Chains A and B, each alone.
Chain A
Amino acid sequence: MTERKIQVRDVKKHFPVDDGALSNLFGFGEDQSVKAVDGVSFDIDEGEAFGIAGESGCGKTTLAETILQLEEPTDGEITIDGRDVTEMDKGEINALRSDVQIIQQDPYQSLNPRFTVVQWVQEPLDIHDIGPKDERRETVRETLAEVGLRPPENYMDEYTSELSGGERQRVGIARAIVSNPSFVVCDEPVSMLDVSIRASILRLLDDLRTEKGISFMYISHDLSLLKHVCDRIGIMYLGRFVETGPSTQVINDPQHPYTQALVSSTPIINPDVERDRIELSGEVPDPIDLPSGCRFAPRCPEASEECREGEPRMYDVAADQRSRCILHDDQYDLSS
Chain B
Amino acid sequence: MLEISDLEVRYDTEHGEVHAVNGLSVDLAENETLGLVGESGCGKTTTAKSLIRLLESNCTIAGGSVELDGRDLTDLSLKELKREVRWSEISMIPQNAMNGFDPVYTVGEQIVEVVQAHESDTSKGEARERARELFEKLGIDGDRIDDYPHQFSGGMAQRAMVALALALDPKVILADEPTTALDVVIQDRLLDVIQDLQDEMDVAMLLITHDMSVVSERCDNIAVMYGGRIVEYADAETIIKSPRHPYTLGLRNSFPDITEDSQDLISIPGAPPTLVDPDEMCQFAPRCPFAEEECWEVAPEPVEYGDGHRVECHRADEVEYLRSEAEKHETWTELESTETDDELTETEVKND
Contact = CB atoms under 8 A, between A and B. Distances in A.
B254 A283 contact: no
Contact of A262 (B185, B265, B266): B185
A196 interface: yes
Nearest to B182: A56
Nearest to B263: A228
B185 A196 contact: no
Interface string A265-299: 11111110101010110010000000000000000
- Interface of B, secondary structure class, is helix
A164 interface: yes
B212 interface: yes
B340 interface: yes
Nearest to B346: A151
User: How would you classify the secondary structure of chain A's contact residues: helix, strand, loop or mixed?
Assistant: helix
A233 B197 CA distance: 37
| Residue among A154, A202, A224, A280 facing the most chain B CB atoms (10 A cut-off) | A224
Contacts of A277: 188
Given A151-B344, A221-B184, A271-B236, A228 B216 contact: no
B112 interface: no
Contact of B212 (A150, A195, A223): A195
Contacts of B214: 267
A248 B260 CA distance: 9
A197 B270 CA distance: 9
Contact of A267 (B211, B271, B329, B343): B211
A196 B216 contact: no
A227 B185 CA distance: 18
Contacts of B216: 267-271
A221 B183 contact: yes
A200 B335 CA distance: 13
Contacts of B344: 150-151
Interface in B259-290: 259, 261, 263, 265-269, 271
Nearest to B252: A269
B217 interface: yes
Given A151-B343, A153-B347, A199-B254, A268 B265 contact: no
A248 B268 contact: no
Contacts of A153: 347
Contacts of A166: 271
A271 B186 CA distance: 21
Interface in B218-277: 218, 236-237, 240-241, 250-252, 254-259, 261, 263, 265-269, 271
Interface in A102-152: 150-151
A150 B337 CA distance: 10
A43 B298 CA distance: 57
Nearest to A263: B258
B49 interface: no
Contacts of A261: 185
Interface of A: 55-56, 150-151, 153-154, 164, 166, 194-203, 221-225, 227-228, 248, 251-252, 261-263, 265-271, 273, 275, 277, 279-280, 283
27 contacts: A55-B186, A56-B183, A150-B344, A153-B347, A166-B271, A194-B40, A194-B210, A195-B210, A195-B254, A196-B254, A197-B268, A198-B267, A199-B265, A199-B267, A203-B265, A224-B258, A248-B261, A265-B187, A267-B188, A269-B252, A270-B240, A271-B237, A271-B240, A271-B241, A275-B217, A277-B188, A280-B185
Given A55-B183, A222-B184, 20 more contacts: A150-B340, A151-B340, A151-B347, A153-B347, A154-B343, A154-B347, A195-B251, A195-B254, A196-B254, A199-B267, A223-B184, A262-B184, A266-B184, A267-B213, A267-B218, A269-B213, A271-B237, A280-B185, A283-B155, A283-B186
